Amino acid sequence: MIIEALVAIMLLMLGIMGIAGLTTKSTALTGQAQYRTEAGMFAEQIIQSISLSVDRSSDSKLATSLKGFEHQPTESEACSFAGSAMPEDSAPAQILKAARNGVTGVAGLPGAEGAGQQVVVDTDNNNQVTVTLCWQGPNDDGPRTYQIQAFVH
């Protein structure tokens, strides 16, 4: 009878340990989903800001003004971008700054750095704008990436 009670207690403990493990994994996945959602919101705000700020008076002026919003268009390796930065006073640049915790009162992406942000404009491909944001959460093995593409007409 004592052996049966010990076996029952061990089975109960294994069940409780399994539930605790699932809860831990669920919490980690929820945090990752939150950061991905925030990255999507930052990227979408950048696209909208660029779309609202361009000069649409002619096709050539549209292409020229779009090119002014490029930010570190050269990729040397994953999440390590280089090149010229967009003007700091522009609205998209302020959103990029907020995404890397650079604005007081705005919680940006964890571990986000300026070298991990890129805006590429391809005027030869129907004015395609590609925004890439990289960050690394506290429990991530490597950087995570969010990329969005849009066409500005």
pLDDT tens across 94-113, in order?
999 999 987 888 889 999 99
What is the pLDDT at residue 28? 73
What is the pLDDT at residue 103? 82
Length of the chain: 153
Dihedral sign (CA 93, 78, 146, 24): negative
What pTM does this model have?
0.82
Listed as ranges, residues in the chain with pLDDT below 70 are: none
Residues 76, 63, 50, 85, Cα dihedral to 10°: 40
In whole angstroms, give the CA distance from residue 135 to residue 113. 7
